Amino acid sequence: MNKKYSFKIILFVSFVLFLSLFTGCQKKGNELEQETKVIVEVVPVREGEIAKVVEFAGSIAAEAEVKIYPQITAMIKDIMVEIGDSVQKGDVMALLDSEELEAQFAQAKAALDVIKAKWAQMETGARPEEIAQTEDLVTKAKAALKEAESNFNRSKEMIERGTISERQFESSEIAYTIAKADLSSAQERLKMLKEGATKEDRDALQAQVRQAEAAVESARVRLSYARITSPFKGTISERFFEPGDLAMPGKPLFTIVQMDQVKVVISFQENQIQYLKEGLSAYVRVAAYGDHEYTGKIERISPTLNPQTRMFTAEILLDNKRRILRPGMFASVKFFIDPHTNALLVPKEAIVFSEGIHLNNLTDDDKNPSGYIFIVEGETAQKREVIIGHTSGEIVEIKEGVKIGDKVVTRGLFKLKDGDRVKVVEQGGVSD
């Protein structure tokens, strides 16, 4: 009986020990299994629109920049503006000495007044008093001619008889000729006063009026050159002379810039002309103002390549009401080109390249670059080669290798090998 009881006790203890040993081994196996799973974060592949991002370095220039030249040579009497002053169209910026020009203008006006007075007289005709005076002049001329003719005839008889000298005869002949001319002139004047001016006379006087008016306008224009005015609304950026200096054509007095709008000038290669078009939106940053982004559009593109640089130029117009963008500043310009719709998109951090290659180092010469990603299926990570399309910020287009809804590994992928078992955790739970 004691032997049988002792055997049962030994058998029970042996079973308990075996059970404990089996349970411990199973627990260690589970723990080992847990330890071999790589902890990862995943993101599903989504469909969306993406455009290629291209960036250029550019420089800011004024929308318009004009140098103001004098058109006459004259001493500068006064300058009304300083560098940085704002001017409106037509504002006087400087005055040149104009005494001589004013005298020329007054002389031209006086000459015009004389011609106009003659024209007015021709238009109204002669006054009765003028006609009467001229008729009296004709009568006197006839009497003078009659007397001169009589003296001339008498002189001819006397010269034939030799009673007067040759000189005396010539004097009477000249007096007779003058008397005939005076009568003819008086008669012509009387005829004109009674009948009015001929068409030829009127046309000739009208031509003189037009000529005098043109002379007045020319003198007025030259006088206006003494006032140096602004051709448009802008800001004085340069001033080259002082009062008392001699202004001369060919030497600028001022430079004026328009800054309510500025343009950013960039250069680009010919293989990008298919994407950069007038009207394309541009996003501009200037180092002086940090991350502040200005938006504008391509206003114009050069029609030809620069023969030296073999590049096109484009101008982006930006609003600059506060005038904080200054000509000469450097700018970074970003465009979104060649948009793809219904593209398969993943985070940039999900892409792995071969050693020495990085997504940020890819250029336009890298056609359809490839890399690989890890897809989680069940509890297993599958390594897949993919073809990469556009990149925009932290998002990458995958052209081949994935489908919508695939779970791509974004964290923990550098610990993975193809076929590794994984444990997916919430974002923020993995540290590479």
Q: What is the DSSP string of 233-258?
A: SEEEEEE---TTSEE-TTS-SEEEEE
User: For 89-118, what is the HEC assignment?
Assistant: CCCEEEEECCHHHHHHHHHHHHHHHHHHHH
Contacts 24+ apart (CB under 8 A), 401-405: 401/373, 402/45, 402/344, 402/346, 402/373, 402/375, 403/45, 403/344, 404/44, 404/45, 404/46, 404/47, 404/344, 405/44, 405/45
Q: According to the model, what pLDDT value does residue 9 have?
A: 60
The pair of three-digit structure tokens given for residue 250, joined into one six-digit string: 């060919």
Q: What is residue 25's predicted lDDT score, i.e. its pLDDT?
A: 47
pLDDT of residue 1: 47
Amino acid, single-letter form, for residue 254? F
Two tokens at 20? 């404990």
- Residue that is written with structure tokens 């409106």 in the block: 88
pLDDT computed for residue 371 by the predictor: 87
Q: Residue 58: how many CB atoms within 10 A of its CB? A: 24
Q: Closest Cα partner for 409 from 18, 30, 14, 45?
A: 45
- Per-residue HEC secondary structure of 263-300 comes to EEEEEECHHHCCCCCCCCEEEEEEHHHCCCEEEEEEEE
pLDDT score, position 200: 80
Is the pTM above the cut of 0.75? no
The identity of residue 324, as a single letter, is I
Burial class (CB in 10 A: 0-12, 13-18, 19+), 242: exposed
List per-residue pLDDT tens for the chain, 432 residues long: 455 555 556 655 566 565 555 555 454 444 444 457 889 999 999 999 999 888 999 999 998 899 999 999 999 999 999 999 999 999 999 999 999 999 999 999 999 998 888 777 776 655 677 778 888 898 999 999 999 999 989 988 888 888 888 888 888 888 889 988 988 988 887 777 776 667 787 788 889 999 999 999 999 999 999 999 999 999 999 999 999 999 999 999 999 999 889 999 999 999 889 889 999 999 999 988 888 999 999 999 999 999 999 999 999 999 998 889 999 999 999 999 889 999 999 999 899 876 544 555 555 455 567 889 999 998 899 999 999 988 888 899 999 989 999 999 998 888 888 999 999 886 654 555
- State the Cα angle at 191 between 186 and 193, rounded to 5°: 95
Q: What pLDDT, on a 0 to 100 scale, did the predictor assign at position 72?
A: 94
Tell me what pLDDT residue 104 has: 92
- The backbone torsions φ and ψ at residue 302, rounded to the nearest 5 degrees and listed phi first, read -60, 140
